[in-house]
Structure 1
Amino acid sequence: MKRGDTTPRPRRGPGRPRKPHTESVEAEPVEYEEDYVRDPTEVEIDSRAQTPQDRARIPLLARSVKDRFTLFYGVPDPSVARSWLGNVEDTFEYLSCTEEEKAELAAYHLRDQVVTWWKMQKSLFGNQSITWALFRDAFERQYFPAPYRIARRQEFLSLKQGDRSVMEYEAEFNRLAEYCPQLIAQDNDRLDQFTQGLAAYIRIQMSGFTPNTYREALDRALMIEMTQQQVSQERGKDKQKAQGTAPNQKQQYKDKKKRKKWQGSQNASGESYRSAKTGRSSTGSSKSS
């Protein structure tokens, strides 16, 4: 209280605590996050999954999107380029993105000289919006040369089952069909081409059966092949049984023949012994003393 100030001051009661002393705390500087740069691989997962199992898989797919993509370095091997392109298309089935985003996502995974090639292609497109169809056509023209496509097409048209099983023949059929999808655009075309390459015994047994779809022809061919394998196995078992019994019968015949020969020799020796004992010849006359 200042000297000369007569204003009454409220006194602290006996049980009233003193006001704690508070130290001034300097405010920490606020750190501002840098502007977020969107990764082209961070695309929203398709939300059309309705079942609980599909909804449970969505977080896992979101984390594995980057792992599903592989980089393409422009290896001069059409089969490698085809495999990379198929892997990209398979990944698009799990993503919800536009056609332009698909092209950007694929171009993001190009490396080395392929990047230079894609920059030239973009300059040729100009201001045109680049969709996945345009990217795919340009990519196939560059990394699937015309002679290679023609060779695969001829191989597909002349494909036969041969010594393959039906499943092996179907796998090769589908692999080559990817190089000429226009030839089997309709299911009837696919059915006819597949049936022509089947083995002769399958086509003969399918002559009385007219499949309506490609899947029916495949199932019928598998059933015929399975039946033929069972018949061959049964014939093999019967042949083994026949080969196993023949040596036994032959051995029994030899043993029987030996026994007859031995019995004949024993009878001949017995008669000669009795003749010598009685002193008579084989004609019945007595020997001279």
Structure 2
Amino acid sequence: MTGITALLEQQATRPRLSHDEDVAERFQKKGPKEFSGVTDLLVAEGWIRSLEIIFAYMGLTDADKLKCAVYMMKDDAALCRIIREFMSLRQGDKTVVEYIKQFERGCHFVPLIAYSAQEKMRQFVDGLRADIKHDVRMMDVTTYEAAVSTIRGW
């Protein structure tokens, strides 16, 4: 019993970390990699997946995940370039399936599109080839998911 009491007293006298400091300290102990601003979406996606593994293990809230991820970003200019590339993403010669995969990967970098159903739908349809865009608009689909399920079989 004396050992437990001594441990509790020791804990009480130790300086307390704020929530953010505690999360940051625990996060750093997991050895996350910095994002150096590469422009290859596959490399960036690998970085995101490595962070997601840490986030899942730690059971972080979305707000804490965002703070930790932003902290690991070291080259804002390169990240902005990835975002610009995504915003100008077009289907071009890609198949519908290839375009959907590339669009989904890009959504990781542009939360305002990924989490706004209307903006996600608009951005996706705007990037389709003219003939497919016309057909999707004629079908009057209202969500990204509906558009994807409609054209996935084409």
TM-score range (shorter-chain normalised) is 0.5 to 0.7
Alpha-carbon distance in structure 2 between the residues aligned to 1:205 and 1:85: 34
Equivalent positions of 1:119-138 (< 5 A) are 131-138=64-71
Q: Structure 2: which amino acid aligns with 1:201?
A: D
**Residue 173 of structure 1: how far off its partner (Å):** 1.0
**Higher relative contact order (CA closer than 8 Å, sequence separation 6+):** 2
**Residue 221 of structure 1: how far off its partner (Å):** 1.8
Counterpart for residue 130 of structure 2 = 200
Gaps of 5+ in 1: 1-68, 101-130, 226-289
Q: In structure 2, which of residues 73, 88, 94 is the aligned counterpart of residue 164 of structure 1?
A: 94
Counterpart for residue 107 of structure 1 = none
Alpha-carbon distance in structure 1 between the residues aligned to 2:59 and 2:89: 38
Q: Is the helix fraction higher in 1 or 2? A: 2
Counterpart for residue 114 of structure 2 = 184
Q: In percent, how many aligned pairs have the same letter?
A: 22
Give the CA RMSD over aligned residues. Answer: 2.9
Determine helix, strand or coil for the equivalent of 1:208: helix
Alpha-carbon distance in structure 2 between the residues aligned to 1:197 and 1:87: 29
Counterpart for residue 80 of structure 2 = 150
Gaps of 5+ in 2: 1-29
Counterpart for residue 13 of structure 2 = none
Alpha-carbon distance in structure 2 between the residues aligned to 1:81 and 1:166: 22
Alpha-carbon distance in structure 2 between the residues aligned to 1:206 and 1:86: 32
Alpha-carbon distance in structure 2 between the residues aligned to 1:77 and 1:91: 20
- TM-score, length basis structure 2: 0.63
> Compared with structure 1, are the counterparts of its residues 185 and 81 closer, same or farther at alpha carbon in structure 2 (3 Å cutoff)?
closer
- TM-score, length basis structure 1: 0.36
Preserved contact between residue 70 and residue 84 of structure 1 (Cα < 8 Å): no
Alpha-carbon distance in structure 2 between the residues aligned to 1:154 and 1:85: 18
Counterpart for residue 72 of structure 2 = 139
**Higher-Rg member (1/2):** 1
